Amino acid sequence: MRKALLGIVSKSTSPLKTIVIIAMAMTFVCGDVVSSLAARQAAIVVDAKTGKVLYSADANGRRYPASLTKMMTLYLTFEALAKGKISRNSPVVFSAHASAEAPTKLGVKPGDSVTVETAILSIVTKSANDSATALGEMLGGNEPTFARMMTAKARALGMTGTVFRNANGLPDPGQFTTARDMATLGIALREHFPQYYGYFSQRSFLYGRQRINGHNRLLGRIKGVDGIKTGYTRASGFNLVSSVADGNRRIVGVVMGGTSGGSRDNQMATLINTYLPRASTRGGGDLVAKASGNNPITALAKVLLPKHDAPTPDDKPMVEDDAVASNDDPTTADATDATDEQTTAAVEETAPVVKTRKVKTVIVSAPQIATAQVVAAYAEPTPAAVDPVNTASVPSGWAIQVASSPKQSEAQAFLDKTTKQAPKVLADASGFTVAFDKDGVTYYRARFGGFGSKTAAWKACTALKKKNIECYAVQQ
């Protein structure tokens, strides 16, 4: 079409006509560019009261999460708070690894610490990479183990298209997600932890004498927006998950792969204005179920623990070296979540470092946060008992169990060994461990998740048995 238009121009064509024809041609060229860019983006809007998908564009396409990863880091942090495993005043010590993370960051020195609440606030506002890593190391012992916990929790929530490799979202080719999965996580955060969800509406906080402003520019700009998270790396583009509540309507929207912070925000604003009025005013209750019963261990033992699941000895655990995440742009990776992400990274890198051991955090416009309900009989339950997502748009998924052990390191070693023995069978699966209590002793199941159906799990299990690897399929 463009060639045909330009072919009309000749020496005999009047100057005015030539300008009109060239303008028409440029319109087609720009249209092609916009279509090409749009094809690389993904978005979804979900009615957070019914689970109905109101809008979808490549919602199942694989994307890099960037700082949206921190939503899962905070999910596990909130879970630990709710169980009484940690408190908001617990110290989060920064290792050398955490302190060395690329900006944006608080700039805490190795060996120094901040409170859990300060770490949370720095993540929801500044998107601090060092705080996310420090929290992950605190909860998981080390970041690789915490990443496996994150992926296991994703499977439990029904996020079948997500794998986590680190706590902060800095570039790693093995870390990916989908817009649909991020919407699921956004809904789960509000429904499972309403007592902590107010943190996401935090627009700034005082860190010592330094006021730290947030990156989410839709807070205060669009009525009803109460979070959740922005994200950016070169590979991911500009990402945003937004939760919106207006009257009896509530939605969660996701935009991934935006070409700039401004265009991403404008796209989200358009989606909110278009689809919030179409959301239902009547919901069927929470979309994400929780375990029933006063004693989670008793409930698990009666309902979910396989009767034939006795601990079996495995090989000695293999030592796993800490992997260094590849970073396609270490100077700007996720350092750029503010209004003009590309220009603020340098400012944040040179910001003064505040000594943190004696710093008192003051919340500006603090959210009303109720006291957490402490679970007396704390145990790491089977994920399916706690967080299964039952919506019209997100399946629960299946897993296969290959072993169990009284030591988590041995269960993980068996996962590693099985992966090496059957790499093709488990190419699209994700290994994780699940703790359970039996006769007062904690054991760990070794499982592979990510199977979309019972048939797929059985088929993989059959292939493993041909390699003399015992297993059975379980629904998550």
| Cα–Cα distance measured from residue 437 to residue 448, given in angstroms and rounded to the nearest whole number | 20
More confident residue, 264 or 397: 264
233's tokens:
């790396």
465 annotated as ligand-binding? no
For residue 244, name the pLDDT band (cuts at 50, 70, 90): very high
Highest-scoring range by mean pLDDT, 39-53, 105-119, 455-469: 105-119
Catalytic residue among 99, 113, 122, 127: 127
Is 236 tagged catalytic? no
425's tokens:
């069978």
CATH of domain 296-322+379-475: 3.30.70.1070
Tallying the residues shown for the chain, one arrives at 476
Half-sphere exposure of 313 (CA within 13 A, CB side): 2
Q: What is the pLDDT of residues 147-162, one digit of tens each?
A: 999 999 999 999 999 9
176's tokens:
């990916």
Helices of type H across 164-212: 179-192, 194-197
Residue 237's DSSP bridge partners are: 233
213's tokens:
């402003």
Spell out where 107-199 has E strands: 113-115
Residue 448 φ then ψ, to 5°: -120, 125
For residue 416, name the pLDDT band (cuts at 50, 70, 90): confident
Q: Which of 167, 177, 184 is nearest to 123 (CA)?
A: 167
Count the Cβ atoms, other than its own, within 10 Å of residue 362: 12
Asked if residue 380 has pLDDT above 50, the reply is: no
CA diameter of the chain: 94
Q: What is the pLDDT of residues 120-136, one digit of tens each?
A: 999 999 999 999 999 99
Catalytic residue among 67, 122, 201, 430: 67
Highest-scoring range by mean pLDDT, 17-21, 134-138, 277-281, 449-453: 134-138
| Cα–Cα distance measured from residue 288 to residue 442, given in angstroms and rounded to the nearest whole number | 26
- For tokens 């996720």, name the residue: 334
**Is residue 374 classed as helix, strand or coil in its secondary structure?**
coil
For residue 424, name the pLDDT band (cuts at 50, 70, 90): confident
| Cα–Cα distance measured from residue 371 to residue 369, given in angstroms and rounded to the nearest whole number | 7
What average pLDDT does this structure show over 173-201?
94
Q: What is the pLDDT of residues 58-110, one digit of tens each?
A: 999 999 999 999 999 999 999 999 999 999 999 999 999 999 999 999 999 99
Is 453 tagged catalytic? no
**Is residue 111 classed as helix, strand or coil in its secondary structure?**
coil
- Delimit the domains of the chain by residue range: 2-38, 41-287+332-363, 296-322+379-475
For residue 437, name the pLDDT band (cuts at 50, 70, 90): low
Asked if residue 318 has pLDDT above 70, the reply is: no
Q: Note whether 247 and 281 are within 8 A (CB).
A: yes
Residue 226's DSSP bridge partners are: none
| Cα–Cα distance measured from residue 115 to residue 210, given in angstroms and rounded to the nearest whole number | 16
Is 355 tagged catalytic? no
More confident residue, 294 or 165: 165
CATH topology identical between 41-287+332-363 and 296-322+379-475:
no
Sign, Cα dihedral of 107, 169, 70, 94: negative
Q: Which CATH architecture has domain 41-287+332-363?
A: 3-Layer(aba) Sandwich (3.40)
Sheet holding 249-258, edge to edge: 53-57, 42-47, 249-258, 237-246, 225-233
Share of the chain above pLDDT 90, in %: 45
Helices of type H across 320-400: 341-349, 383-386
